Structure 1
Amino acid sequence: MVLLSLTASHHELDLDALERLSTGSMSVGRTVVGTCRPVQGTVVISTCNRFELYLDVDAPLDGDTVRHATRHVAELVAESSGVTAEVAATSFTVRTGPEVAEHLFAVAAGLDSMVVGEREIAGQVKRALAESRADGTTSKTLELLFQTASRTSKQVGHSTALGGAGRSLVSVGLDLAGESLRPYPAVRAVIIGTGAYAGAAVAALSARGCDDVRVYSQSGRAADFATSHGIGAVGQDQESLVEALEEADLVVSCSGARGRRPGSPAASAPGAEASLEYVLDAASVARARDRAAARAGDEPESDALVILDLALHRDVDPSVADVEGVLLYDLASLTAHAPTTERAVVDQARAIVTDAAARFEETRLGRAADGAVVALLDEAERQVAAEVGAAVDRLTAELAPLGHAPTESDREEIARSVRRRVHAALHGRIVAARATALAEARAAEAAVVAGAERSLRPVPATD
């Protein structure tokens, strides 16, 4: 088995490119398991700043199977996202072996996030595994990988100050919005979406004293979400959203539902990015602002409407920023305002991640060393049996003139003594054999993925 990950994140791509790559690709996990026999399992992580596929590949050491799997996955991503196969192939960073575990553990701990130390990603990693289970696309190795990632994230949270300040995109956004809003206890907020970020937004607003919060969802889940979080709900139709915006000071949009509006042709048109509908468009916002101004009459001009768009697939039309009296912050602008984290804290967290990844790899590749260790143990048992037999024969010869024979206790003591001595001498050989087998397994796997990575690079055109 070879663990393989294909990663595209804000580190390698700008957010526009990442958005294009991940559009419509959530079904890739099911498709690749169903169409690529060597792939035993997949887990897909798709968040506001990353799109990653983790694969468990049953691959021979010549690497052809892994090269085929990686190329096949890139083509599937291209097909579902509407980008070219070349763009998909060159957008991914390929990792294997210890790099896979160390990267995922760093992601789960918040070390690879736009806001270093943010905690929402830990829940997103857990949900990615749960969704893979529901789709029937996980594997024993991926289960162990993702469960270990969650445990490592908890260890980082408990053992370091990383994330202790409640860092997240939501908190960064609310801090930034607060500079242009009245005090939060007087703010009227509308949340668009009912996912993890929506829940985090409710909690963060509540912590700031904001209790006038309503939620809107195109999917019809607003009422249930509102009940479970103790807030108000907005009707499912667009006109209800416009009415809510008339009174709002703050909008936190995090649905990721762009292009999924019921009945919209864009909801089913692969690659038709230009036609995707925004959850919140400029016309709706302008209409809401005009109504608010008309209702205010001769009263002083209303405060600015601050909109935080936390969705990778941009819930909010960028032209909303041109509507008078509106301040729009998207992921890129929020990232620019993200707080820095002390280097010592990050180093401490990375040390935990590195150690956990090394232990995971030893466990995963331990099967490659088990055969060598078992062979040594079998050899040792044969040596013990031979030496015990010889020792018993000598004792029998010594006792025979006296008319005695070795007792069962004598035999057991001889066996214990011989086994203790043989196994003490064997320890060093076992350690060396295990280390050699692990090194050989890592080297073989590295050779496999090197070929796979080369296969993802486009072939230069020739004259």
Structure 2
Amino acid sequence: MSVWTLGLNHTTAPLDLRGRFAFALDQMAPTLQSLRSSFATGRHPQVEAAIISTCNRTEIYCAAEHAALDHTVGWLAENGGVAPALLRSHSYTLHDDEAARHAFRVASGLDSMVLGEAQILGQMKDAVRAAETAGALGSTLNQLFQRSFAVAKEVRTATEIGAHSISMAAAAVRLAGQLFEDLHQTRVLFVGAGEMIDLAATHFAAKDPKSIAIANRTLERGEKLASRFGGEAMRLADLPNRLAEFDIVVSCTASTLPIIGLGAVERALKARKHRPMFMVDLAVPRDIEPEVKALEDIYLYTVDDLAQVVQQGQANRQAAVAQAEVIIDAGVQSFMHWLRQRGTVPLIQQLNAQTDEWRAAEMARARKLLAKGEPVDAVLEAMSRGLTQKMLHGALAELHAGDATSREQTAQTISRLFLRKER
């Protein structure tokens, strides 16, 4: 059995390219079905699969009898509308122990833009649940991910890997504080109502801004989030007309196209008499058109722009990283031992089936002899002799076959298997 990973993340691919490979969680079932169906011919009839898609990464995890990395690259490239060569230049492919090591590092927060952040673990669990619901998760990937979660828990318990991590939301607040002297006097708009917006709103609310508003496609969900922060909810359709009211705009939706365009921002700036606006686009693909960044009085940051802020304090956590890597190494070795054992399962099943067949035949023969009135001891003797002859027949035949070298190797193997002394 083989496991393999194809991925691209914030270190290998620019934001706009990552946006081409963003998969919505609620569409994961048909996406996984498409991926698995593409393997249905040739030497890969049964492939387990799971896809992790976040603002910083898209990763495909697969397991099958034989690895098919080239095929996986081809499928993802076609799905994103790019040439396979371009995808290869911005992605990574990992196999067996390296795939396991990567999964463990991702779950533990060691591969994140924010070292030690915990959000990725929840996102991985969501991806695994989606794969399981779609019927795409088999025993091998299930074992890989469950071990990933266990390793992540041990890393967070035994080390201080996340002790000083700065979340994307906290980084956004820090940058906004550099532009506005007093965040207490600002009006903040959040576009979307998902987990990232919830986190960002929590951080900004702690600064007690003048007002908070939530713009969301579903008004009811926006109202639910806004009520937690004493804010107002508005429909997404009203956003262009009200954009000028806000000093800070933080957006993160699942839209496949930008929802805040250049024209809307230009009109908002004119209405504000060019008072500065701080904008954060946490979405992949983008929510805010990239041309907005060139406007004077606009301070627009994407997830990639926040990298320098969130990397501060990395040196303080290097000792914890070293400890975490030791835990991960042990986890990888344990998983690979399990995976190698899985390779002998079909042979074990065949051996069990064969011995059951022999046992059933000898039992049937013994019952017939007993029915004829044969002595019990004689029947048991015959049954035991019949079983041992059946078990040894293949080994004895091999001892008399082949050349001298092969017979010697066979003799050593048979001695090791059948002549072991009980301890």
Q: Which residue of 1 aligns with 2:297?
A: 325
Aligned partners of 1:211, 1:76: CA distance in 2, in Å? 49
Secondary structure at the residue paired with 1:4? Answer: strand
Q: What is the RMSD computed on CA atoms of the aligned residues? A: 3.1
Structure 1 position 285 matched with structure 2 position 261: no
Q: What is the Cα deviation at residue 370 of structure 1?
A: 7.5
Distance 1:194 1:7, change over 3 A: same
Q: Which residue of 2 aligns with 1:254?
A: 252
Q: Indicate if the aligned counterparts of 1:21 and 1:83 stay in contact, CA closer than 8 A.
A: no
Aligned partners of 1:78, 1:97: CA distance in 2, in Å? 22
Q: Indicate if the aligned counterparts of 2:101 and 2:332 stay in contact, CA closer than 8 A.
A: yes
Q: Which runs of 4+ in 1 moved over 6 A?
A: 369-374
Aligned partners of 1:254, 1:123: CA distance in 2, in Å? 17
Q: What is the Cα deviation at residue 313 of structure 1?
A: 1.3
Q: Indicate if the aligned counterparts of 1:192 and 1:254 stay in contact, CA closer than 8 A.
A: yes
TM-score if structure 2 supplies the norm length? Answer: 0.72
Q: Which residue of 2 aligns with 1:365?
A: 340
Q: Which residue of 2 aligns with 1:13?
A: 13
Aligned partners of 1:368, 1:80: CA distance in 2, in Å? 32
Which amino acid in structure 2 is aligned with residue 17 of structure 1? L
Which amino acid in structure 2 is aligned with residue 289 of structure 1? L
Q: What is the Cα deviation at residue 54 of structure 1?
A: 0.2
Aligned partners of 2:289, 2:198: CA distance in 1, in Å? 23
Structure 1 position 43 matched with structure 2 position 50: yes
Q: Indicate if the aligned counterparts of 2:223 and 2:233 stay in contact, CA closer than 8 A.
A: no
Same amino acid, percent of matched pairs: 26
Distance 1:179 1:355, change over 3 A: same
Aligned partners of 1:279, 1:87: CA distance in 2, in Å? 27
Q: Deviations over 1:207-250 (max 9, x none)?
A: 33447322222355643552674453543343x21344222121
Distance 1:160 1:221, change over 3 A: farther
Q: Indicate if the aligned counterparts of 2:226 and 2:233 stay in contact, CA closer than 8 A.
A: no
Secondary structure at the residue paired with 1:337? Answer: helix
Q: Which residue of 2 aligns with 1:334?
A: 306
Q: Which residue of 1 aligns with 2:111?
A: 112
Aligned partners of 2:307, 2:251: CA distance in 1, in Å? 16
Q: Which residue of 2 aligns with 1:377?
A: none
Q: Which residue of 2 aligns with 1:450?
A: none
Q: What is the Cα deviation at residue 23 of structure 1?
A: 7.3
**Aligned counterparts, 1:41-440, within 5 A:** 41-59=48-66, 66-67=67-68, 70-210=69-209, 212-218=211-217, 222-223=221-222, 225-226=224-225, 229-238=228-237, 240-259=238-257, 278-293=258-273, 302=275, 304-338=276-310, 339-341=312-314, 342=316, 343-368=318-343
Q: What is the Cα deviation at residue 44 of structure 1?
A: 0.5
Q: 1:31 aligned to 29, 34, 38, which one?
A: 34
Secondary structure at the residue paired with 2:300? Answer: strand
Unaligned 5+ segments in structure 1 are 60-65, 260-277, 294-300, 375-431, 434-463
Q: What is the Cα deviation at residue 115 of structure 1?
A: 1.9
Q: Indicate if the aligned counterparts of 2:114 and 2:165 stay in contact, CA closer than 8 A.
A: no
Aligned partners of 2:166, 2:58: CA distance in 1, in Å? 21
Which amino acid in structure 2 is aligned with residue 364 of structure 1? L
User: Taking CA–CA contacts closer than 8 Å with sequence separation of 6 or more, which of the two structures ends up with the larger relative contact order?
Assistant: 1
Distance 1:6 1:188, change over 3 A: same
Which amino acid in structure 1 is aligned with residue 267 of structure 2? R
Which piece of structure 1 moves more, 319-328 or 212-221?
A: 212-221
Q: Which residue of 2 aligns with 1:385?
A: none
Q: Indicate if the aligned counterparts of 1:74 and 1:88 stay in contact, CA closer than 8 A.
A: yes
Q: What is the Cα deviation at residue 279 of structure 1?
A: 1.4
Q: Indicate if the aligned counterparts of 1:23 and 1:81 stay in contact, CA closer than 8 A.
A: no
Distance 1:207 1:352, change over 3 A: farther
Q: What is the Cα deviation at residue 157 of structure 1?
A: 2.1
Q: What is the Cα deviation at residue 350 of structure 1?
A: 2.0
Q: What is the Cα deviation at residue 87 of structure 1?
A: 2.4
Secondary structure at the residue paired with 1:101? Answer: helix
Distance 1:311 1:147, change over 3 A: same
Aligned partners of 1:73, 1:233: CA distance in 2, in Å? 45
Aligned partners of 1:360, 1:349: CA distance in 2, in Å? 17
Aligned partners of 2:229, 2:209: CA distance in 1, in Å? 12
Secondary structure at the residue paired with 2:77? Answer: helix
Q: Which residue of 2 aligns with 1:266?
A: none
TM-score if structure 1 supplies the norm length? Answer: 0.66
Distance 1:122 1:155, change over 3 A: same
Q: Deviations over 1:47-86 (max 9, x none)?
A: 1121110001133xxxxxx34xx33322222222111233
Aligned partners of 1:205, 1:148: CA distance in 2, in Å? 36
Distance 1:330 1:31, change over 3 A: same
Q: Indicate if the aligned counterparts of 2:219 and 2:233 stay in contact, CA closer than 8 A.
A: no
Secondary structure at the residue paired with 1:44? Answer: strand
Which piece of structure 1 moves more, 14-23 or 345-354?
A: 14-23
Secondary structure at the residue paired with 1:350? Answer: helix
Distance 1:361 1:186, change over 3 A: farther
Which amino acid in structure 1 is aligned with residue 251 of structure 2? S
Distance 1:287 1:371, change over 3 A: closer
Distance 1:133 1:290, change over 3 A: same
Secondary structure at the residue paired with 1:235? Answer: strand
Q: Deviations over 1:350-397 (max 9, x none)?
A: 2222222222222333334689999xxxxxxxxxxxxxxxxxxxxxxx
Q: Which residue of 2 aligns with 1:3?
A: 3
Aligned partners of 2:147, 2:129: CA distance in 1, in Å? 14
Aligned partners of 2:302, 2:99: CA distance in 1, in Å? 30
Aligned partners of 1:162, 1:225: CA distance in 2, in Å? 33
Q: What is the Cα deviation at residue 22 of structure 1?
A: 4.4
